Structure 1
Amino acid sequence: MQKQLFRTLAKINKILLPSFTKKGLDPSYAKKWQLAIIGWRYFVTKNSL
């Protein structure tokens, strides 16, 4: 049940949230909101696998 929830969240993230790795964003120069999005996407991806 929980894994299915995170898989659904991962699909929603892929559609709605920007991908900073494709844009070549350096994490040391990222703004706080960009770091929050990166952290959220990492958390969801880790839990969906």
Structure 2
Amino acid sequence: MKSSFFKLLAKLNKALLPSFTKQRLDLSKASKIQLAIFGWRLYVTKRALD
């Protein structure tokens, strides 16, 4: 149940949120909101793969 929720959430993130790795964003120069989005995507992806 929980993993299917995170898999759905990961698909929504992929469709709605920007991909900073494809944009070649330097994380040392990223704004706070960009770091928050990056962290959120990382958290959801990790949980979906478990």
The alignment's TM-score, normalised by the length of structure 2, stands at 0.97
Distance in structure 2 (CA, Å) of the matches to 1:26 and 1:41: 16
Unaligned stretches of 5+ in structure 2? none
Distance in structure 1 (CA, Å) of the matches to 2:47 and 2:24: 24
How many residue pairs get aligned? The number is 49
Runs of 4+ in structure 1 off by over 4 angstroms are none
The alignment's TM-score, normalised by the length of structure 1, stands at 0.99
Unaligned stretches of 5+ in structure 1? none
State the match for 1:3 in structure 2.
3
Distance in structure 2 (CA, Å) of the matches to 1:38 and 1:12: 14
- Secondary structure, aligned partner of 2:19: coil
- Secondary structure, aligned partner of 2:8: helix
- Report sequence identity in percent: 61
CA RMSD, aligned part only?
0.2
Distance in structure 1 (CA, Å) of the matches to 2:42 and 2:24: 17
